Structure 1
Amino acid sequence: MQPAPRVAFGVIADIQFADAEDGHDFGGTRRRYYRHSLRLLRDAVREWAAERPPVGFVLQLGDSIDGLNARRGEAEAEAALRRVLEALAVLPVPVHHAWGNHELYNFSRVQLARSGLRSRPAGGSAGPPDPLCHAYHCSPAAGLRLVVLDAYDLSPLGREPGSALREEALRLLRDKNHNEDLNNPAGLNEPHFVAFNGGFSQAQLDWFSDVLKFSDENQEKVIVMGHLPIHPYASNGVCLAWNYEAALAVIHSHRCVVCVLAGHLHDGAYCLDSHGVHHLTLEGVVETPPESNAFGTMYVYEDKLILKGRGRIADRVMHF
């Protein structure tokens, strides 16, 4: 008989809600169901509420609303975010939010830090020195630590003009991407150096290593979440953090990380890396037809994670 899990939690990515008719991706070939995505989120919440054992928390892996809202004005963006947060608030459990590129198309970091997407719990979960870096850690169950990474810490998106990290990001991006459109990966030797991706500052990487050192010493299992994949085999080669190698080097220098969860790539992807770390990139809600869905419930056991997927997301057992 299977023992009870330590904890269960919900996972969902790339809701990208906008109160708008269906549209398409930047290439004009993939359909996006902007308005239906909110209904699919509400369906997910209803199913999580009925789970037994109940879910202890939810991971929202970024891009909760679409950049389309920003083109319609700040009030539209605020209204869209309010509706997403209200749908999630039906659950009486914490929701941990990653910040993705679409959040940063709609809001500055200062605005996000004052919004409901600032999900760092009070006390005992200090992040990097930069107060606008949305990275933190917490322990949602005994022997388990969750680390939320900010994959756009190093990015022009959301940063104030003239800020050091914005200028550093622009220099790096222009050094790697010589296309007129910095969102265009065509012809690049490193096609992930596009403006809709981002990276991790050295300060965040140093902080991340310190957190994992603590978990090593306390024999904890660690689940990492962020918007961008950090392994090329859990990506399509484009949707990938700029300095993913640096993030992987931190993870591989410690023993505690068992799984990295990401969004951004709407088709989803998975790999087990050479150090036994599972990298799972979830399919995006926004490109999920209304008759399907894209979310899951993860069960944490002593020696494995079991994902019960819905719709486009497959069931999966990840041993460690």
Structure 2
Amino acid sequence: MQIRYSESAGKLQAALKHLSDLTQLQQDPVQPLSCLLTLGDIIDGYGGDDSCSAAARAGKDLRLIVGLISSGLQDVPARHALGNHCLAAPRTELLELSVGSGVLDTSEMSLCCGYPQGSAQMQQALRWLQAHPKEQHPNAESWNGGLSAAQMTWLQLELAEAAMAGQRVIAACHHPLAPGSAPDQYLAWGYEAVLQLLEQHAGTVCMVFSGHYHPGGYAQHDGIHFVVFEGILEAPQDSNAYAVVEIWPSKAVIHGYGVGSSRQLPFM
């Protein structure tokens, strides 16, 4: 598929207008939207060289896209997963715009983590790559990343707390976490440990939403639905790629638009 960077802003605006119209008219399936979720790489960030000007350009692009989303759905809270392309902008700027807030950060342990060279996150990334040669681990790619040890501890505590409270959990992140939902070379570093932790709470965790792999995909592990949503970048010129997700006590219904897939996903 052809990647269509120049069409992305227009397609985003079209998607936001459609969602806004649905909300205002209270048409199914939107009654109304409770939040908006993007799954990372809302900017390209890698055009040009790795310089201060490139970082400034990435920051400008980031503010443009976040601004479009904020103005397009003014009364809908937004959550943005942090993708590897996003980190062409400084991590501090991303956090100021709430990119990465409230979702898992699968770029925290990576070569593009946005932390200083001597940081715990960068050192952990280097150790992981050294212990996982690409010949044996197809996902040992520079565009991937994973959860740090500290984030894994946090996730374990959050899931345990949710289980005790009888709550359901929908997790979101940029990199896919389950084999079968995307080709192996696109899976997060250390996905095995994350998947094992999620499966230990299969009665609590019902779905995991990811991006990164533009064609999209789906897998189910221990009753948990792992959905990789199609990317807007590779949608045909006359189409789009986004979805509305209805959450019911016993199921989720994904209404895909454009090349976005529609699914009905029963919960355990």
Q: Per-residue CA shift, 1:90-145, capped at 9, x if unaligned?
A: 212111011000011x123233223x14463xxxxxxxxxxxxxxx3xxxxxxxxx
> What is the Cα deviation at residue 221 of structure 1?
1.2
- 217, 226, 231: which one aligns with 2:173: 226
Q: Tell me the distance in 1 between the aligned counterparts of 2:98 and 2:48.
A: 17
Q: Per-residue CA shift, 1:267-313, capped at 9, x if unaligned?
A: 1010111x100000011111112211110000000100001001111
1:170 corresponds in structure 2 to 126
1:302 corresponds in structure 2 to 249
> What is the Cα deviation at residue 69 of structure 1?
4.2
Task: Point out where structure 2 has 5 or more consecutive residues left out of the alignment.
Answer: none
- 86, 89, 95: which one aligns with 1:107: 89
CA contact (8 A) 1:151 1:227 kept: yes
Q: Tell me the distance in 1 between the aligned counterparts of 2:33 and 2:12.
A: 15
Structure 1 residues 161 and 207, CA gap change in structure 2 (3 angstroms): same
1:271 corresponds in structure 2 to 219
| Secondary structure of the corresponding residue to residue 155 of structure 2 | helix
One-letter amino acid of the counterpart of residue 99, structure 1: L
TM-score (norm 1): 0.75
CA contact (8 A) 1:69 1:76 kept: no
CA contact (8 A) 2:81 2:172 kept: yes
1:214 corresponds in structure 2 to 161
One-letter amino acid of the counterpart of residue 159, structure 1: Y
One-letter amino acid of the counterpart of residue 12, structure 2: L
1:46 corresponds in structure 2 to 17
- 105, 116, 131: which one aligns with 1:160: 116
| Secondary structure of the corresponding residue to residue 220 of structure 1 | coil
> What is the Cα deviation at residue 70 of structure 1?
5.8
| Secondary structure of the corresponding residue to residue 270 of structure 1 | strand
One-letter amino acid of the counterpart of residue 149, structure 1: L
User: Is 1:66 matched up with 2:44?
Assistant: yes
Q: CA RMSD in A?
A: 1.6
Structure 1 residues 60 and 70, CA gap change in structure 2 (3 angstroms): farther
| Secondary structure of the corresponding residue to residue 313 of structure 1 | coil
Q: Tell me the distance in 1 between the aligned counterparts of 2:140 and 2:105.
A: 17
Q: Tell me the distance in 2 between the aligned counterparts of 1:201 and 1:118.
A: 18
1:87 corresponds in structure 2 to 68
User: Is 1:149 matched up with 2:112?
Assistant: no
Structure 1 residues 118 and 267, CA gap change in structure 2 (3 angstroms): closer
Task: Point out where structure 1 has 5 or more consecutive residues left out of the alignment.
Answer: 1-29, 121-135, 137-147, 178-184
| Secondary structure of the corresponding residue to residue 50 of structure 1 | helix
| Secondary structure of the corresponding residue to residue 233 of structure 1 | coil
TM-score (norm 2): 0.89
One-letter amino acid of the counterpart of residue 97, structure 1: H
Q: Per-residue CA shift, 1:192-222, capped at 9, x if unaligned?
A: 0111100111211111111111111111111
Q: Which has the higher contact order (CA 8 A, sep 6+)?
A: 1
Structure 1 residues 169 and 119, CA gap change in structure 2 (3 angstroms): closer
- 57, 62, 85: which one aligns with 2:35: 57
Q: Per-residue CA shift, 1:203-253, capped at 9, x if unaligned?
A: 111111111111111111110000011001111111001111111111111
| Secondary structure of the corresponding residue to residue 88 of structure 1 | helix
